[in-house]
Structure 1
Amino acid sequence: MRTRATVTLATTCLLALAGCSSSSSDDDAKPSTPVTTASSQAAEPTTTAPAAGDAVELERVASTYTDLYFAGVGKSAYAFLSKRCRAKADPTMYAATVKQAAKDYGPDHPATDVHATVSGDMGRVSYKVKGLPKFDQTQQPWTWQGGAWKYDAC
């Protein structure tokens, strides 16, 4: 009964928080390479709302978050959460949920068929989770905060 409750809780949390990855702080969650658009000549980080062409960057971030989540890297995955989601998710509980997801499902569940759209500082991402169709996402909300995309489906 206890195992069933744990699996149910982990699955519920995973459904609520499934998304993508990062590191331990806002600075670590920023892309490792500057965000650019096809028309830009200089590679400068963006702190204002992203351009519509930045959907590719959002797709990369969402994929990274998913990788970290299923790998059980809770602290890094937590860094990808928006301020609003962080206010709702205790870091220790979130890390435990991510660790349980990795234990239950394993790390080999990358996001596939990732498609994002961007409008102002909001983005939507749809993708499949390899081997776990119950975690596939449609129009998952993301927000642009502090110069980086943040998971906002809390």
Structure 2
Amino acid sequence: MYTRATTSLTTAALLLAALTACASDDDAAESKPSSSAAVPSAKESADPPRDDAAELSNAVGYYTKAYFEGDTDTAYRALSQRCRAQITPEAHGAVVTQAAKDYGPDHEAADIGANLLGDTASVSYKVTGLPKFDKKEQPWTWEDDAWKYDAC
């Protein structure tokens, strides 16, 4: 019985060694950066590049849609931390609910344009069918890996 256990352990160890040897040679060659390659900073390698214009446009669209559909939770989560410190979820929810009742859900953000400066943006857009809600230079901010409405 002792011989069988030793043989099984020895076989397993040899298989593991063989697999490790095969993988480590290939992996080592592929993972070595070339001497001419630039070494990314810790920030660059930790965060994938973001497409600010597209992400901002999507955030404006999601917020506008949530606002006119009466989706109070989504609309509140789209607010910046600064705005959430100024208005409770209930108070903001009441405004969003009233907008949905008054205007209905069929109002999208259109013609979105933005001036971006680092983690802040000034956004202008039209609200389809409701020109009185068209926005010019509305502030947005990048926080918690997303663009947030900051016009409070």
Range into which the TM-score falls when normalised by the shorter chain? 0.5 to 0.7
RMSD between aligned alpha carbons? Answer: 1.9
Work out which of the two has the higher radius of gyration on C-alpha atoms and give 1 or 2: 2
The CA deviation at 1:117 is: 2.4
Which amino acid is 1:79 matched to? R
In the TM superposition, what are the counterparts of 1:3-152 in structure 2 within 5 Å?
Answer: 46=47, 53-152=51-150
Distance 1:45 1:63 in 2: 28
Distance 2:75 2:55 in 1: 17
Task: Point out the structure with the larger helix share.
Answer: 2
Kindly provide the CA deviation profile for residues 81-140 of structure 1, in whole angstroms up to 9, marking residues without a partner as x. Answer: 001000111101111110110000000000111112211110111100011100000111
- Number of matched pairs: 108
Report if aligned partners of 1:58, 1:149 keep a CA contact under 8 Å in 2.
Answer: yes
The CA deviation at 1:45 is: 8.4
Partner of 1:20: none
Q: RCO higher in 1 or 2 (8 Å CA, sep ≥ 6)?
A: 1
TM-score by structure 2 length? 0.66
3-state DSSP of counterpart to 2:151: coil
Distance 2:126 2:46 in 1: 29
3-state DSSP of counterpart to 1:114: strand
Kindly provide the CA deviation profile for residues 30-69 of structure 1, in whole angstroms up to 9, marking residues without a partner as x. Answer: xxxxxxxxxxxxxx9848xx76x51121011101110010
TM-score by structure 1 length? 0.65
Runs of 4+ with deviation above 6 angstroms: none
Unaligned runs of 5+ in 2: 1-44
Distance 1:46 1:117 in 2: 22
Partner of 1:3: none
